[in-house]
Amino acid sequence: MLKETLSGIPIKDVYGPDDLTGWFPQQALGRPGEYPFTRGIHPTMYRGRLWTMRQFAGFGAAEDANRRFHYLLSQGQTGLSVAFDMPTLMGYDSDHPRAFGEVGREGVAVDSLADMEILFKDIPLDHVTTSMTINAPANVLLALYVAVAERQGIRRDQLGGTTQTDMLKEFIAQKEWIVPPRPSMRLIQDMLVFGARELPRWNVISISGYHIREAGSTAVQELAFTLADGIAYVEAGLAAGLDVDAFAPRLSFFFDVHNDFFEEIAKLRAARRMWARIMRERFGARNPRSWWLRTHAQTAGVSLTAQQPLNNIARVALQALAAVLGGTQSLHTNSMDETYALPTEEAVTVALRTQQILAWESDVVSSADPFGGSYFVEALTNQVEEAAWASIKRIDELGGMVAAVEAGYPQREIADASFRFQQQVERGERVIVGVNDFVMAEETHIPTLHIDPEVEWRQIERTRRLRGERDGAVVARRLEALRRAAEGSDNTMEHVLECVRAYATLGEICGVLKKVYGEYREPAII
């Protein structure tokens, strides 16, 4: 068996004071709620307020997802998190040929304001916070959300939530894109400016390590690439003329929490310390909130096994525990059946109950950062941090993350790491219970969520009807205004908003941006 973390950091039999020579708690830790926030961003952490339990959900047409949202809220969930289907993520309408077979499959289909109104029907947007996992067309979905709020009579400054908007990690790992990296960054700048001006409670970007990790990176790579992405977004905001403290407090993060219990805790602690230093020392931020690394966490989808799927409940519980001990602000727990399909309602309920057991039964919430001062965890936090700084330095040398992505650097690093991991599994150096050890002959018959193929036709029908009913001349005029803004230097956000109010579709809006900026094509690297 390997005596090293998933990132390859060697682990000793036991740790003691010698592993922390030259380490001073005053500088390295501070108190919870104090710079550099290693121990958490709040003085009392979960005693003051529990993390937000936020289960990612969405499938079918808007009606189906709206029903699941109402169910989750009725079960004690405290925030919404929307999954969109693949065509929506790529900026295609449901009736586009490329959408064939994909509509409503991996998330909810949203083509226009008509769908968005149904999606949030009877959900008061001033009382919930909503996280939307949307990147390439994040500007369109943010505009749609603002437009729905307008119809509900809710002011912009009352809207709380997040659009993921992290295109760099799309090019690196998740790979749902529309236009190339540099124009993508320009559209993000427009969103940052719009957010700073109009949406004081909105997190415009959720800088995401999750997908980088799921694509096969190590914990250290996840940390380094994510913070390097964050640096690129801060630079973009500054280049757009914003004061760092005008937008940095609204940047949030999203990390994966995998099986390597201690390394994951070390990663989250190191992440806070590093970001605080980056913001204060590299960017000169003065508002302490700019120094905070606020994060959402999700258990590792990629760690779930198809074999003996009930075992996944235990994996998720351990990962969720690591996320909580690592000091996350919100959490999604995966469901046991997700290697087969989107989760059933029963499986989602077990996953949510897992969080509730941690919060209400285990008493791990009573004291902030309970591992603070542990020889092992502190030494590991230092080592994870050191390795991540080295990687960030390499990216700086390449000219920053945008240039590194264009050069394929993080993409290659991840492909190498995932192959290395898979080989370790195949050789039996890493045990995965039920997969390469403790294997049983089994017939797996767990119930899975079935999505009615009819959804696709109903959705296509709705969008086609919409095109006939709206005022086409207004739509054309507003799309043309957007085109001019995209070609020039006007902020595109208000134009996108004007388009969605006129029921221009997502595909039409993204089509304009593609015409102006071109489409991204990735060189296929094995």
Partner 1 sequence: MDRALRILLAKPGLDGHDRGIKVVARALRDAGCEVIYTGLHQTPEMIVTAAVQEDVDAIGLSILSGAHNALFPRIVEMLRERGVGDIVVFGGGVIPEADIPGLLSAGIQKIFSPGASLGEIVQWVRENVRPRGVAA
List contacts with partner 1 (CB under 8 A): 85-87, 89-90, 92, 97-102, 105-106, 170, 174-176, 214-216, 302, 305-307, 338-342, 415, 418-419, 422, 425-426, 435-436, 444-445, 448, 450-451, 453, 522-524, 526
Query: Whole-number minimum distance, CB 513 to partner 1, in Å?
Result: 17
Query: Whole-number minimum distance, CB 90 to partner 1, in Å?
Result: 5
Closest CA relative to residue 311, chosen from 437, 451, 219: 437
Query: Whole-number minimum distance, CB 63 to partner 1, in Å?
Result: 18
Closest CA relative to residue 135, chosen from 100, 105, 169: 169
Asked whether the CA dihedral 488, 494, 499, 505 is positive or negative, the reply is positive
399 vs 518, beta carbon nearer partner 1:
518
Task: Give the amino acid at 240.
Answer: A
Three-class DSSP labels, 270-329: HHHHHHHHHHHHHCCCCCHHHHCCCEEEEECHHHCCCCCCCHHHHHHHHHHHHHHHCCCC
Query: Whole-number minimum distance, CB 342 to partner 1, in Å?
Result: 7
> Read out DSSP for 196-237?
HHH-TTEE--EEE-HHHHHTT--HHHHHHHHHHHHHHHHHHH
166 vs 170, beta carbon nearer partner 1:
170
As given in the structure block, the two tokens for residue 1 are: 């068996």
As given in the structure block, the two tokens for residue 210 are: 């999750």
Query: Whole-number minimum distance, CB 456 to partner 1, in Å?
Result: 8
154 vs 306, beta carbon nearer partner 1:
306
What's the CA gap between 157 and 196, in Å, rounded? Answer: 11
Query: Whole-number minimum distance, CB 498 to partner 1, in Å?
Result: 28
**Helix or strand holding residue 108 (H, E):** none
Query: Whole-number minimum distance, CB 295 to partner 1, in Å?
Result: 23
Distance, C-alpha 415 to centroid of its chain: 20
Contact 143, 497 (CB under 8 A): yes
Closest CA relative to residue 148, chosen from 132, 165, 164, 135: 132
Query: Whole-number minimum distance, CB 441 to partner 1, in Å?
Result: 14
85 vs 190, beta carbon nearer partner 1:
85
